[in-house]
Structure 1
Amino acid sequence: MKIVVPPPLEPNPFQKVASDSPDQLLGYLDFHTPLDKKGRYQPFDELRHRVPQGLDAAVAWSFVRNARNRQQSYLISLGEPENHCSFMLTPSIQKAISETDRNTTSAYLEWIGSKIDEKAQLKYLLSDLIEDESISSSQLEGAATTTRVAKEMLKRNRKPRDASEKMILGNYRMMQFAWEKRHEPLSIDLILDLHKIGVEGIDDDEYKPGVFRRAADNVHVVDPEGEIVHTPPPANNLKNRMRDIVSWANYDHENADEKSYLHPLIKAIVLHFCIGYEHPFRDGNGRVARALFYWYLFRSDFSAFRFIAISVLLKKAPIQYGKSYLYSETDQMDLTYFIEYQSKIVVRAIEKFKKAYKDAALEIERFNRWLWDSGLYKKLNDKQRTVFQVAKSGDVQEFTIRNVEHNLGCSYNTAAAVLNGLVKQKLFYREKNGREWVYFMKGKDKIIESWRK
């Protein structure tokens, strides 16, 4: 995860070019803008490749940085010695704010519910989506358990079998705790409790659940090749610095004057960065950072984020996730890089969430028409219709009595009757997995063929 660190800045790039190479001034002036022509907020690591031959990349960078500094807004101070963090509001960040405001509020969730007649299916899908962040966040940190096995463990409330499953269960409990504590202000105790709930029982000697790191811990962040990419600020005075972060998070930036205003999404992302940068724990910092991102959005009444998994997308490009930290840390603590990257992830995650419920609504409409035309509708009870519709949508590939019991909120015997009834109706088939039956929907063609016989 190596990057090229920005070169030292020219104090007055205009004067230097006017003095040393005045004939190139127009070429350099093309770089006197925060964004490139495609609207990108590029780090020096990427911009250096786009500097025309004959121009000095270091001087061009000074022009870019000069333009950016004029539009930076102060955010928070981190580390020791103190580093002032700032950012610039870019089109990508504004788009993420707009998508968040339009599609993730508690009122929006209620509106979704009013548009989907089959409330049971919506509840089933949301119950499934709520697990995705816990699983993918753990996988991002190295958990080797597959998503299918992890979902089976959570739905069956089965005890974890190894360290990877313990990570996933801990993360799930941590996210549940973040939701439960959404009406409370941030505190040192809440951060410590998040960590303890998330990592306790995995390897307590390694993680030290609910305890800030100490100087003797010698904590570093390494890349996949084992190279150190970040050394956190010293452990001395860490608790005081964490108190400053807590005070900043609790300050009401939404009712402040225009100069201090911060949208909750930006604050949530910055809070994510703060934990990653300060690295207050021996291990598990990434999970706590992402949990606090969600906690702040829950607190700000963006309830749909309970079903929006950013880690699913972060996991697909972990190098870029890491680089967004490094670009900010090595370029005057300009958090725009990190906020931009997270904003793009948020937009994609919201789109995925919207697609899930839109597909569910369309599937309900198509399926109900088929049910009616085939005569099958009268043969299925409400719970059987719900499970069949979920299966037909493709969002869930396999079912067990335990996970149907969990998702439908019914008894074990009722869940068993639902699944066995679907087998009897030639819609499902089942296979033995150890001591447990696993149920699958037949292919559409096979279902139609079965009903024609």
Structure 2
Amino acid sequence: MKKPPKSSGRTDPVFDLLARSPHKERLADYLALLKPFDDQSRYLPFEALRYRWAAGLDANLCWALVKKARAAQYINLLPLGEPLQWGKYVQTPLAQKTLSVVDRHTSTAALDYMTSQIGERMHFSYLLNDLIEDEAIASSQLEGAATTTRVAKDMLKHQRQPRTPDERMVLGNYRMMNFAWEQRHEPLSVALIAAIHQVGVEGIDDEQYCPGVFRAKDEVVVQDGAGNTVHRPPPAAGLVARLEKLSDWVNLSDGSTLENNYLHPLIKSITLHFALGYEHPFRDGNGRVARALFYWLMFKNEFAAFRYIAISLLLRNAPVKYGRSYLQTEADELDLTYFIEFQCSVILRAVLGFTHSSLWERACSR
């Protein structure tokens, strides 16, 4: 029998610390933390975990053990920013459940079966009444549009011309969602990203938004409700080149489910959502473009039922958690697991809401 190779004699600095006093007296407590999740299978950031560790443990050492366990399971997704840094994630129980539900209920095949049961007329009526309107309205409200859902729906239903900038924002998002569906067979490109922005914001305030034009300066920042800067996007210099690399990554084949490099379209779509928000390529309207591109990529991968699933309805009700998931990812070396986890929790609720709708139940009862 072949013997294993001899150790080089080098010690891991984390385990070296555990062998020293006073840490070695609590060795069992420390080693129990060598896992990516907490005891409830949650993927929590340092700010949340540090209050859950046993009294007397060194918080920095505890975090080093958690990070060591996570690093062993990281899946590299794509390089982001300038200088380039790898965005990565850990597959979590919540993500696995969400992927399963999405695969079962939102594929084009599942939607075709449902519409065959309820008839094309009701299918078209439901389309008008739900996703495109609801997503357009909620996405606009998430960005600060003050119009009510009832007034916005009335405008879209009766094809009334918008009277205010907020209504123009809703109409722009409505057009953008339709455009994302129409362009689902096209590869991602810098030109397509610019075109989605132009369709979505043109006519709202062209001087403010500069429709379809990428920022050329570094004056764009993301601020919280108190006016504090919470994110400075990568520099404008090299922006187009980075978007070209992002497009190349999106257009790469994900491989078959049997290959090691397979990446589920939902994870890829969420990552694209994050990457657009992180790059912030436009002066304004970046969040709307990021969410529209999420839908575009899901449509492209034959998850047509997402035409009926308005993610922004739930994001609008949790804007602080939505923003925090961006910040937690950026603060922790571009660990996208935080952002993916939050998006999966929202998508899971939205898909289950869709499957419990009267339309779905009517189709399944036939």
For residues 133 and 41 of structure 1, do their structure 2 counterparts lie closer, same or farther at Cα, with a shift above 3 Å needed? Answer: same
SS at match of 1:260: coil
Shift of 1:308: 0.3
* C-alpha distance 292-34 of structure 1, shift in aligned 2 (>3 A): same
Matching residue of 1:335: 336
Q: Matches of 2:329 and 2:196 in 1, distance apart?
A: 26
What is the CA–CA distance in structure 1 between the aligned matches of 2:83 and 2:328, rounded to whole Å?
Answer: 19
1:39 alignment counterpart: 41
Name the counterpart of 2:349: 348
Structure 2's unaligned 5+ residue stretches are 1-11
RMSD, aligned CA: 1.8
Match of 2:195 among 193, 196, 201: 193
1:102 lines up with 2:104 in the alignment: yes
Q: Counterparts of 2:180 and 2:126 in 1: how far apart (Å)? A: 21
Question: Equivalent residues in 2 for 1:160-179 (5 A)?
Answer: 160-179=162-181
Query: Which deviations, in whole Å up to 9, do the C-alpha atoms of 1:97-120 show, x marking residues without a partner?
Result: 11111000111112112343x654
Question: Which residue is equivalent to 2:228?
Answer: 227
Question: Does structure 2 retain, via aligned residues, the 8 Å contact 1:254–1:263?
Answer: no
Counterpart AA for 2:212: G
Distance 1:320 1:55, change over 3 A: same
Partner deviation per Cα, 1:190-213 (whole Å, 9 max, x = no partner): 100000010111111111110000
Relative contact order (alpha carbons < 8 A, sep ≥ 6): 1 or 2 greater? 2
Q: How far is the alpha carbon of 1:257 from its aligned partner?
A: 7.1
Q: Mean Cα displacement is larger for which, 102-111 or 285-294?
A: 102-111
Alignment match, 2:3: none
- The one-letter code matched in structure 1 to 2:355 is K
Is contact 2:76-2:88 (8 Å) kept?
Answer: yes
CA distance in 2, matches of 1:40, 1:360: 32
Report 1:371-390 matches (<5 A): none
State the partner residue of 2:263: 262
Q: 1:79 and 1:257, CA in 2 relative to 1: closer, same or farther beyond 3 A? A: farther
Q: Which amino acid aligns with 1:16?
A: L
Is the partner of 1:197 in helix, strand or coil?
helix
Find the aligned partners of 2:312 and 2:137 in 1 and give their Cα distance. 9
Give 1:49 shift: 1.1
Q: Report deviation, 1:348.
A: 0.4
Alpha-carbon distance change, 256 to 103 in structure 1, aligned in 2, over 3 angstroms:
closer
CA contact (8 A) 2:354 2:360 kept: no
1:78 has 2:80 as partner: yes
Q: CA, structure 1 residues 360+257, in 2 after alignment: closer, same or farther (shift >3 Å)?
A: closer
Q: Is the partner of 1:211 in helix, strand or coil?
A: coil
User: Shift of residue 53 of structure 1?
Assistant: 0.8
| Map of 2:210 onto structure 1 | 208
* 1:77-135 Cα deviation digits (max 9, x unpaired): 0111111111111111111111111000111112112343x654443223211211111
Q: Secondary structure at the match of 1:76?
A: strand
Shift of 1:29: 1.1
**1:175 offset after TM fit, Å?**
0.6
Whole-angstrom distance in 2 between the partners of 1:101 and 1:257: 16
The structure with the larger Rg is 1
- Output aligned runs, 1:303-314, within 5 Å: 303-314=304-315
Question: What per-residue deviation string (whole Å, max 9, x for no partner) do you get for residues 241-281 of structure 1?
Answer: 01000000000013487332100000000000000001100
Identity of aligned residues (%): 51
| Deviation for aligned residue 1:359 | 6.9
- SS at the partner of 1:84? strand
CA distance in 2, matches of 1:176, 1:189: 17
TM-score (structure 2 length as normaliser): 0.93
Distance 1:119 1:303 in 2: 15
Whole-Å Cα distance in 1 between the matches of residues 117 and 257 of structure 2?
Answer: 36
Q: How far apart, in 1, do the equivalents of 2:288 and 2:137 lie?
A: 11
Structure 1 letter corresponding to 2:138: S
Amino acid at match of 2:253: D
Match of 2:146 in 1: 144
Separation in 1, partners of 2:317, 2:53: 30
Q: Which residue of 2 aligns with 1:113?
A: 115
Q: Is the 8 A contact 2:114 2:360 kept in 1?
A: no
Structure 2: distance between partners of 1:348 and 1:228: 31
| Match in the other structure for 1:438 | none
In the TM superposition, residue 360 of structure 1 has moved relative to its aligned partner by: 6.0
- Structure 2 residue aligned with 1:53, among 47, 50, 55? 55
Aligned residues: 353
Residue from 131, 134, 140 that aligns with 1:132: 134
Q: Which amino acid aligns with 1:29?
A: L
Task: Find the residue that maps to 1:171 and give its secondary structure.
Answer: helix
Aligned-pair CA distance for 1:311? 0.4
Secondary structure of 1:49's counterpart equals: coil
1:262-281 equivalent positions in 2, closer than 5 A: 262-281=263-282
Question: What residue number does 1:247 align with?
Answer: 248
1:265 and 1:33 map into 2 onto residues whose CA distance is 25
Are residues 1:319 and 2:320 paired?
yes
